[in-house]
Structure 1
Amino acid sequence: MLYPLIRKFFFALDAETAHGVGMRGIDLLNSAGLAGLLAKPVAACPVEVMGLKFPNPVGLAAGLDKNGDHIDGLARLGFGFIEIGTITPRPQDGNPRPRLFRIPEAQGIINRMGFNNAGVDRLLENVRAAEFPKKGGILGINIGKNATTPIENAVDDYLICLDKVYNDASYVTVNISSPNTKNLRELQKDEALDDLLSQLKARQLQLADKHGKYVPMTLKIAPDLDDLQITAIADALRRHRFDGVIATNTTLARDAVAGLPNADETGGLSGKPVFEPSTVVLRKLSAALAGELPIIGVGGILGGEDAAEKIRAGASLVQFYSGFIYRGPDLVSEVADTLANLMRKNK
């Protein structure tokens, strides 16, 4: 019952300011050994996906901890895995503030952050200082391109990031679906996608030889895809032997929030309004992949049953971000409990 009271304070602040205060608060409680005040015990529900053994299938989506500043504090909340980023080769400020907007009436969030981050080298300093990965915690690192890099040279940025993070990541996510970097979603289209995946796969295999270990690679896609695009992406993922896919990022659609305050802000919409479209894409993608690649289901998870619906639609793991803002740390244990019960029934 603690978080609803805290949330009133946070929601009285500017959304980005509240985010910073909240993350520092989690770090402070963790340092003081008081993380248990926020987090309930989380059900054990081990699953193996992409050759990795997850203690439970509940993950933190990229975006909450862009630079890996808060890994250990977040880990204490019970997540089975944490994904940090999106990171770019060079530091960048992102888009001008304000760039993060709540829509409480719909339990939604609009962001146009624009990959604001301190650069890949800073992220790696934070990862290497954190205890979570040292203790075997599963840490995904989400990579992107700098805004100033021309789209035709985007692959260069992804390769730079892949080279640098490979040895420190449990898995690497290639983000080509943020709506807040100009033309980025063009990389989801046929020839551009084929070229990107081909070069990334070749580099992944080279790095596996160099480091003596294979680090899985996933692709994060948008919810704003038609059936032909979903099929084409599934075919490309199979063809290039990618290890997994994350469905989905935020949406540009506004139907679910039309007329509400902040609904007309530009950027990607997340939270409850994206649950249905993201789950539709997940279900279609699962059918197109026919079990050949695992899917991480993301988008609009605000309760245990939402997560169960993602699993029933074809996901092997789930992640959330906006739900964490609206529901707080209790969401981690609720989702873990629900999925543990679901998986027991399915055995």
Structure 2
Amino acid sequence: MAQSHPRGRFRFLRVATAGIISLYIGLTAYEHQESLIRALISPAVRLLPAKTSSNLALLACKYRLFPASKYKDNVNLNSSFFGRHISNPIGLAAGFDRNGEAVHGLKDLGFGFIEIGSVTPLAQKASPRPRVFRLSDDRAIINRNSIDSDGHQAVVQRLRRLRETDGFDAVVGVNLEHNLSSRTPISDYMSGVKTFGPVADYLVVNYSNAKGKRHSTSSKKQLIELLEAVNTARSQLRPNRYGKVPILLKLSPDMTLDEMKDVASVISMSTCQVDGLIVANATMVHKNVSGSRWLREKGALSGEPLRQRSTAMIAQMYQLINNSVPIIGVGGVSSGHDAFEKIEAGASYVQIYTAFVYEGPELVERIKSELSMCIAEMGYENIREVVGSNYQQYLPVRATGSK
């Protein structure tokens, strides 16, 4: 059987993508667009390559083509978020909207907070294709993409324009990274703090994402140097109306117990304080996936195969830091029950990414509804009461009884 010509495949993808975009635009004027998006558009998007479908979804959010959520968050989901009030603890993880192009449209979907990035100081191109692989049977994604970023100046201008928009009240965090070519990565993080501190609701130091080195790991000494530097950079900023901009540290699920203990020790130092942790990023270890090909494929694995591992690490860090700072739990969340488990394990908030790529905007409402029911059924009045309430159950076996 003759193989299709690459140029022909490319032409087909362009036509298919254009057709689906046209459907999106047409449906925005249709009365029952939510059910049609679920029935027609989401399956059509899944026929496209993973990166193409993700870009298409981002485009739809950018131009606010998805219908705004009409779901009213139950009061049992209300919480405080580093000095801000949020109506629910479900956020979008970094990686979907890398350059802050679609924040308005994402806010329409009902997220409690949105994290953009990772953002590098200088513009940086993506890796050659193919770089994103969809593992549909495992509800997972493998991403071997270097960070494609428009750079600090382009992204901060977008955020400034958002802040100047009447009625804009979304909670927006910025995930900071260094350029791959940088010889002074710590300076890159300091630049990110100075650039985005005045316009972001929180900043994330992406310590988890030492591509290719995850997680051999950056030493304790290097972590001290990094956190001292970003704290120094923050001290030079004027506080906003909520105080100094919160700084969070994002961790890799591939860390050893000793490395986690090092993190707990370092962030307890007065010169290295952070306001929260994000646990955890995607993993370089391809366990719990079907098919030998994916065991050998290079790249970061996210989605369902990471869920239990991430939850165990949340419980471990919750214990190690003695609940001293809030944790944002991320990794394999695709239901309200998954979110509830992460909160029981010690997370105060939860982020989604891979499941959102698979299931589309209706997932946000479903997770919130299911989480609200879990809270009520377990006899709690508010999500805050659940945080860490059962963390011992989720501790990895090796850590049971550790101090």
The TM-score with structure 1 as length reference comes to 0.91
Q: Deviations over 1:157-197 (max 9, x none)?
A: 00011110000100001112125x34475664311111101
2:67 is aligned, of 35, 41, 61, to 35
- Aligned residue in 1 for 2:236: 206
The CA deviation at 1:15 is 1.2
Structure 1 pair 301–212 and aligned structure 2 pair: CA distance change class (3 A): closer
1:232 is aligned, of 262, 267, 282, to 262
Tell me the secondary structure at the aligned position of residue 301 of structure 2: strand
The CA deviation at 1:94 is 2.7
Given that 2:100 and 2:117 are in contact with CA atoms closer than 8 Å, whether structure 1 keeps it comes out as yes
| Residue 265 of structure 1 pairs with residue 297 of structure 2 | yes
Tell me the secondary structure at the aligned position of residue 84 of structure 1: strand
Given that 1:103 and 1:261 are in contact with CA atoms closer than 8 Å, whether structure 2 keeps it comes out as no
1:112 is aligned, of 136, 144, 148, to 144
Number of matched residues? Answer: 339
Given that 2:131 and 2:143 are in contact with CA atoms closer than 8 Å, whether structure 1 keeps it comes out as yes
Given that 2:276 and 2:326 are in contact with CA atoms closer than 8 Å, whether structure 1 keeps it comes out as yes
Structure 1 distance, partners of 2:71, 2:311, is 28
Alignment of 1:74-93 (within 5 A): 74-93=106-125
2:203 is aligned, of 172, 183, 203, to 172
Given that 1:84 and 1:141 are in contact with CA atoms closer than 8 Å, whether structure 2 keeps it comes out as yes
1:326 is aligned, of 344, 358, 375, to 358
- Aligned residue in 2 for 1:298: 330
- Aligned residue in 2 for 1:145: 178
- Aligned residue in 1 for 2:280: 248
1:280 is aligned, of 304, 312, 320, to 312
The CA deviation at 1:90 is 0.1
Given that 1:49 and 1:294 are in contact with CA atoms closer than 8 Å, whether structure 2 keeps it comes out as no
The TM-score with structure 2 as length reference comes to 0.79
| Residue 10 of structure 1 pairs with residue 45 of structure 2 | yes
The CA deviation at 1:231 is 1.4
Structure 2 distance, partners of 1:245, 1:110, is 23
Structure 2 distance, partners of 1:97, 1:305, is 35
- Aligned residue in 1 for 2:90: 58
- Aligned residue in 1 for 2:60: 25
Q: Deviations over 1:40-74 (max 9, x none)?
A: 51424220132222221010000000000111111
Greater RCO structure (CA 8 Å; 6+ sep): 1
Given that 2:178 and 2:188 are in contact with CA atoms closer than 8 Å, whether structure 1 keeps it comes out as yes
Question: What is the letter of the counterpart of residue 236 of structure 2?
Answer: Q
Structure 1 pair 266–194 and aligned structure 2 pair: CA distance change class (3 A): same
Structure 2 distance, partners of 1:238, 1:299, is 25
Given that 1:42 and 1:337 are in contact with CA atoms closer than 8 Å, whether structure 2 keeps it comes out as no
Structure 1 pair 155–328 and aligned structure 2 pair: CA distance change class (3 A): same
Question: What is the letter of the counterpart of residue 140 of structure 2?
Answer: G
Given that 1:248 and 1:299 are in contact with CA atoms closer than 8 Å, whether structure 2 keeps it comes out as yes
RMSD: 2.2
Aligned-pair identity in percent equals: 32
| Residue 221 of structure 1 pairs with residue 256 of structure 2 | no
Given that 1:40 and 1:333 are in contact with CA atoms closer than 8 Å, whether structure 2 keeps it comes out as no
Tell me the secondary structure at the aligned position of residue 48 of structure 2: coil
Structure 1 pair 182–149 and aligned structure 2 pair: CA distance change class (3 A): farther
Given that 2:123 and 2:151 are in contact with CA atoms closer than 8 Å, whether structure 1 keeps it comes out as yes
Q: Which has the larger radius of gyration?
A: 2
Tell me the secondary structure at the aligned position of residue 328 of structure 2: strand
Alignment of 1:177-196 (within 5 A): 177-178=208-209, 181-183=211-213, 185=215, 188-196=218-226
Structure 2 distance, partners of 1:268, 1:298, is 14
Structure 2 distance, partners of 1:210, 1:304, is 34
1:99 is aligned, of 131, 153, 161, to 131
Given that 1:176 and 1:187 are in contact with CA atoms closer than 8 Å, whether structure 2 keeps it comes out as no
Question: What is the letter of the counterpart of residue 54 of structure 1?
Answer: I
- Aligned residue in 2 for 1:160: 191
Structure 1 pair 222–292 and aligned structure 2 pair: CA distance change class (3 A): same
**Structure 1 spans left out of the alignment, 5+ residues:** none
Given that 1:61 and 1:319 are in contact with CA atoms closer than 8 Å, whether structure 2 keeps it comes out as yes
Given that 2:84 and 2:242 are in contact with CA atoms closer than 8 Å, whether structure 1 keeps it comes out as no
